[in-house]
Amino acid sequence: MTATPPPLLSLRQITRRFGGLTAVDSVSAEIDRGELVGLIGPNGAGKTTLFNLISGVTPPSSGEVAFEGRTLTGLRPFEVARLGVARTFQNLRIFPNMTVFDNVSVGAIRDCGLSDALFERSSARGRDISDVSTEMLAKVGLADLADELAANLSYGKRKMLEIARALAGRPKLLILDEPAAGLNDTETIALAQFIENLRAEGLTVLLVEHDMGLVMRVCSRVIVLAFGRKIADADPATVRQDPAVLDAYLGTGDA
C-alpha cells in the first residue's frame, strides 16, 4: 500500500479578519483531483475573501492553505499561479488594448526570460506558448477572433477569453469566480456544458457562484458559506434540503 497522496487543495482552519470583522471564520475544506466543487453563499458570506486567500492575494490571519500538500502561506499570487492554480475574475479583467491571442498568451508566459525575447523564433518556449494559446482559443471558440482587439469583443466572449487565458497556464486547479454573472440563459447553458467538459478532461474546478442554479446543475459537491463560516459541504441534493442552508438563503422569518 502506498500512502494516499494529499488532496489537491486543503484549507486548514483558515481565518481572515479585517479589523473587527471576521470575513472567513476557521473554514476547513478539501478538494480532490478531478472534482467539480461549487462554493456558494449569500452576499457577504466571505466567498471572495476565501477566493483571495487561496490565490495569495490576501494572507490568512490564521490557518493555512495547502496545494498538493505544500503550504501556500507567504507565496505571492504569481507564485501560486505557477504552482497550477488559475483563476478568472468576477468583474472581467481582460487586457483591452491587446489582441485576443496576446491576452491568452499572457496566461502561458510564466517566466519568460530575456533570452527567450531575443531569440524567440528558435526557442522551444516561444513555440510552446504559441501552441497552447492557439489550442485554448480554439477550445473556447475564439480562434477566428485571434487578431481582434480584446476591447472589441462582446461581454460573453470576453468571459470565454478570460477562461482561455486561465487555461493557457495548464492549471491543475481552475477557480471560476461567478462565471455566469451577466450571461443570458443560452450562454449560461453553454457555459455549464463547457465546464462539465473540462471536468470530463480531468481538470479540477472550483466554481464560486452567487446563483444556485448553475452550481446545482454541474457540481458534484457544494460548499456553502454564510457569515464567514462553512455551514454545509455535501452533494447538491443534500445541500438543497439542509435547513441551515435554507435559513441562510431565505432568512429566519424576521428578515
Partner 1 sequence: MSTRPGEQGRRDEAGPVKTRLNALLVAGLVVLLAGLVAYRSGYFNQIAITTMIFVILAASLNLITGTAGLLSLGHGAFFGVGAYAAALLSTKLGWPFWLTLPAAGAIAALVGAVVAVPTMRLTSIYFAVATLGIGEMIYVTLLNWVGVTRGPMGIRSIPGMEIFGLQGMVFNMAVTATLMLVALWLVHRLTHSYYGNSLRALREDDACADAMGIDVGRLKLQSFGMACCLAGVAGGLFAHTTGYISPESFRFGESILILSMIVVGGLGSIYGSIIGAVLLSVLPELLRDLGSYRMIAVGVVLFLSILFLPRGLVGEVSAIDLIRRQVKRDPNARRSAW
Task: Using the structure block, give the residue that is written with the C-alpha cell 502506498.
Answer: 2
- For the segment 164-193, give every residue that binds partner 1 (CB under 8 A): 165-166, 169
Contacting residue, 47, 87, 158, 230, with partner 1 by CB under 8 A: 87
- For the segment 132-161, give every residue that binds partner 1 (CB under 8 A): 133-134, 137, 143-144, 146-147
Under the binding rule (CB under 8 A), the answer on residue 68 touching partner 1 is no
Contacting residue, 57, 183, 212, 234, with partner 1 by CB under 8 A: 57
Under the binding rule (CB under 8 A), the answer on residue 90 touching partner 1 is no
- 162, 92 Cβ separation under 8 angstroms: yes
Task: Using the structure block, give the residue that is written with the C-alpha cell 470530463.
Answer: 200
Under the binding rule (CB under 8 A), the answer on residue 70 touching partner 1 is no
**Residue 234: strand pairing partners:** 222
* Shortest separation between residue 237's beta carbon and partner 1, angstroms: 34
Contacting residue, 15, 22, 90, 130, with partner 1 by CB under 8 A: 130
- Please enumerate in sequence order all residues whose Cβ is within 8 A of that of 95, keeping only pairs 6 or more positions apart, or say none: 102, 103, 106, 150
In terms of Cα–Cα distance, which of 204, 83, 97, 94 is closest to 155? 94
Under the binding rule (CB under 8 A), the answer on residue 81 touching partner 1 is yes
* Shortest separation between residue 137's beta carbon and partner 1, angstroms: 8
Under the binding rule (CB under 8 A), the answer on residue 91 touching partner 1 is no
Number of residues near partner 1 (by CB under 8 A): 49
Contacting residue, 18, 78, 155, 249, with partner 1 by CB under 8 A: 78
- Look at the chain and count its residues: 255
CB-neighbour burial class of residue 68 (10 A; exposed 0-12, middle 13-18, buried 19+)? middle
Range in contact with partner 1 (rule: CB under 8 A) among 24-32, 126-134, 219-227, 243-251: 126-134
Site mask for partner 1 (CB under 8 A), range 212-231, x = bound:
--------------------
In terms of Cα–Cα distance, which of 34, 29, 38, 31 is closest to 7? 31
54 backbone φψ class: left, alpha, beta (φ>0; ψ -120 to 50): alpha
Under the binding rule (CB under 8 A), the answer on residue 194 touching partner 1 is no
Evaluate the CA torsion angle 206, 211, 215, 221 in order and state its sign: positive
Distance, in Å, from the CA atom of 175 to the CA atom of 119, rounded to the nearest integer, reads 34
Return residues touching partner 1 (CB under 8 A). 55, 57, 76-78, 81-82, 86-87, 89, 93, 95-99, 101-102, 105-114, 116-118, 120-121, 125-127, 129-131, 133-134, 137, 143-144, 146-147, 165-166, 169
